[in-house]
Structure 1
Amino acid sequence: MFKKIQTSVGEVLDFPPDVVGEGPKITITGKRQIMVENYISILNFSEEEIRLETAEGDIFFRGKGLMLKVILATELQIEGELSSFWFDGGETK
C-alpha cells in the first residue's frame, strides 16, 4: 500500500526516480570515491571492475585498486582510481 502512495506522489509531483527510491543515485567525488544508492546486488567485484545490479540495469565501474569501503543494504561506497563507468541497458525485474 505504501509503495502505491509513494509512486503516485512521485508521479504527481514529477520527482526523478532516485528520489522515490527506484533508480540508482551515483555520486562521484573526483576520481577516487563513488557512492551508489539504490543498488540491488553486487554481481562482480575485483580491483579492476565492479558490477552492480540496479532497477535500471547493470552498472560497471572500471579502474585500479577498487575497494568496497562501505556496504549497506541500499548503498555502498567504492574507493580507488576510477577510469570509467557505464550502464548495461537491460532492466531487472
Structure 2
Amino acid sequence: MFKKIQTSVGDVLDFPPDVAGEGPKITIIGRRQILVENYLSIVNFSEEEIRLETAEGDVCFEGKGLALKVILSTELRIEGELSSLSFTSQKV
C-alpha cells in the first residue's frame, strides 16, 4: 500500500549533514591537531589509535602520541602526530 516516508528538515532544505547535525565534522589543522564534532562515543583510545563512533560509522585516527585534550558531549580535540585517518561504514 503506502510506504511511510521519513524526512528531516535538513533533507527537505538540502542542508549538508554536518549543518543538519547528523554526520561528523572533522577539522584537521596540520598533522598535530584534530577537532571532531557530532561524534557519538569514544570506542577506543591509546597513544597510537583513537576510534570514534559516529552516525555514519566509525572513524579511526592513527599516529604517535595521540591524546584527547578536550572532551565535550558533542565535540572533542585530539592532539599528537597524525599519520592516518580511516572510516568504517555503519552496518545496516
Q: TM-score, normalised by structure 1?
A: 0.88
Task: Structure 1: give runs of 5+ residues left out of the alignment.
Answer: none
Q: Percent identity?
A: 72
Please give the residue correspondences for 1:13-92 in structure 2 after superposition, counting only pairs within 5 Å.
13-91=13-91
The one-letter amino acid of 2:15's match is F
RMSD over aligned CA atoms reads 1.7
Larger Rg: 2
Q: Is the 8 A contact 1:56 1:91 kept in 2?
A: no
Deviation of residue 32 (structure 1)?
0.1
Per-residue deviation at 1:63? Answer: 0.2
Q: Where does structure 2 lack aligned partners over 5 or more consecutive residues?
A: 1-5
Shift of 1:11: 1.7
- Could you tell me which amino acid in structure 2 is paired with residue 32 of structure 1? R
Aligned residues: 87
SS in 1 for 2:73: coil
Q: Displacement, 1:91?
A: 4.4
SS of corresponding position for 2:17: coil
Runs of 4 or more, structure 1, over 3 Å off, are: none
**Structure 1 range deviating more: 13-22 or 54-63:** 13-22
Secondary structure (helix, strand or coil) at the match of 1:18 reads helix
Go from structure 1 to structure 2 and tell me whether the alpha carbon gap of 1:70 and 1:91 turns closer, same or farther (over 3 Å shift): farther
Deviation at 1:12, TM superposition (A): 2.4
Amino acid in structure 2 at the alignment position of 1:13 = L
Q: Aligned-pair distance for 1:24?
A: 0.2
Q: Given residue 81 of structure 2, which amino acid in structure 1 is its aligned partner?
A: E
Query: Counting helix residues as a fraction of each chain, which structure ranks higher?
Result: 1
